[in-house]
Structure 1
């Protein structure tokens, strides 16, 4: 089970990530202050982004910016340990919404066609675990 984090802390970290200003060192320090490991904090933040997007509380572009901002920390952590999941899977789902795929019609929205269903499946799988 992922430990709850105060909403104000989550929001502040998501803003930093969206601005590309959240390195693994800062994230690790924050995680330690919250009594978490860095992977747990990355997963918590990523799940929050996924839930907000799927529930319509966050536009795709904002979620994509945040996940792109979290990716360096996800990648750096994955170099020393396993890639944090579901953070990495959520990042990949947002990545799929960044471009038209081969065979897509021009008027298809890749975020709706690929990202939203993938995130819904990730969140459903997480709910099944709890």
Structure 2
């Protein structure tokens, strides 16, 4: 049974170590999609404030995305929240270099940071 007091902050601060998050995500019939959305926003905020690294934020968002798109129950019954998609795509944008960018361009700084900033401004979080 999922803890009714489970918050995105608790997930970020206490449960993202080891397999605890995986155990939560593997209970989709009990897992509130609002928590995933709030977690995505919190990841974006913590990255924007330099409270977590890009690598940590990217890993969290990859785990959230992977859970959703590989879980038939969720795919068939719930749309992926737009805020989750936007946050995932912002972190995804920092994972690779573009052929039209100079080799010295850091994709995290050029793509992820501005996307995260725009995402948070749209939500009136910054």
Partner residue in 2 for 1:45: 39
TM-score (norm 2): 0.77
Equivalences for residues 45-84 of structure 1 within 5 A: 45-75=39-69, 76=71, 77-84=74-81
Which of the pair is proportionally richer in helix?
Answer: 1
Q: Structure 2: how far apart are the matches of 1:26 and 1:13?
A: 15
Partner residue in 2 for 1:12: 14
Q: Structure 2: how far apart are the matches of 1:55 and 1:127?
A: 15
Is the Cα–Cα contact under 8 Å of residues 23 and 73 in structure 1 kept in the other structure? no
TM-aligned CA distance change 1:93 to 1:13, over 3 Å = same
Partner residue in 2 for 1:35: none
Q: Structure 1: how far apart are the matches of 2:16 and 2:60?
A: 6
- What CA RMSD, in Å, does the superposition of the two structures yield over aligned residues? 2.8
Q: Structure 2: how far apart are the matches of 1:46 and 1:16?
A: 19
What SS is found at the alignment partner of 2:22? coil
Regions of 4+ moved over 4 Å: none
For structure 2, which runs of at least 5 residues remain unmatched after alignment? 1-5
Equivalences for residues 1-130 of structure 1 within 5 A: 5=7, 7-15=9-17, 21-22=22-23, 24-26=25-27, 29=30, 31=31, 38-75=32-69, 76=71, 77-127=74-124
Aligned length, in residue pairs? 118
Q: Structure 2: how far apart are the matches of 1:21 and 1:82?
A: 20
1:45 Cα offset (Å): 0.6
What SS is found at the alignment partner of 1:108? coil
Is the Cα–Cα contact under 8 Å of residues 42 and 74 in structure 1 kept in the other structure? no
